[in-house]
Amino acid sequence: MSQSDKISGNQKRKIRSATRLYIIQALFQMEQLGQSVDQVAEEFIKHRFGANYDEGQMSDGDESLFKSILEAAVNYQASIDQLTDRALVEKWPIARIDPTLRSLFRSAAAEIVQIKTPPKIVIAEYVALAHAFFTDGKEPNFVNAVLDHMAKEACPNEFS
């Protein structure tokens, strides 16, 4: 029996959710510090997945999912940003929005378009993450609307 066979479905969902959080943080860090995919991936996998801090233990992450979404977000960033721009209000191109939201949209779009995760799962997961980052704002509703628009454009058959 492999290690993954010993993990419950609920635990797998928690790990995937934590992985998505790590991807948003990694994309943000790459943009802010100019780091490469390899630098950030190594740091997160070695030092953040399951790390123990005074405040508690960080969640484990799914290394394979982390790398595949991160690489897709970087490799397809131009087309992902164009998809995002089409979902945003004309006066607010992706370059003008909050960098955390930009990272969130890039990760979610990479997962929908390149990883082929069902859009409804991606939207639910990333709206929940928006609530974690923006506890008092309107951003989660904004994220829901933008991701819904992006998903309908990228996967129209899922919404017919």
- Residue-wise pLDDT for 3-55, tens only, equals 445 678 888 899 999 999 999 999 999 999 999 999 999 999 998 888 777 77
Does residue 79 fall inside a structural domain?
yes
Report yes or no on 1 lying in a domain.
Answer: no
Its domain, for residue 64, covers 8-159
| Number of compact structural domains in the chain | 1
Q: What is the pTM of this model?
A: 0.89
Residue 3 falls inside a structural domain = no
Is residue 2 domain-resident?
A: no
CA distances from 15 to 20, 63, 98 (A): 9, 10, 26
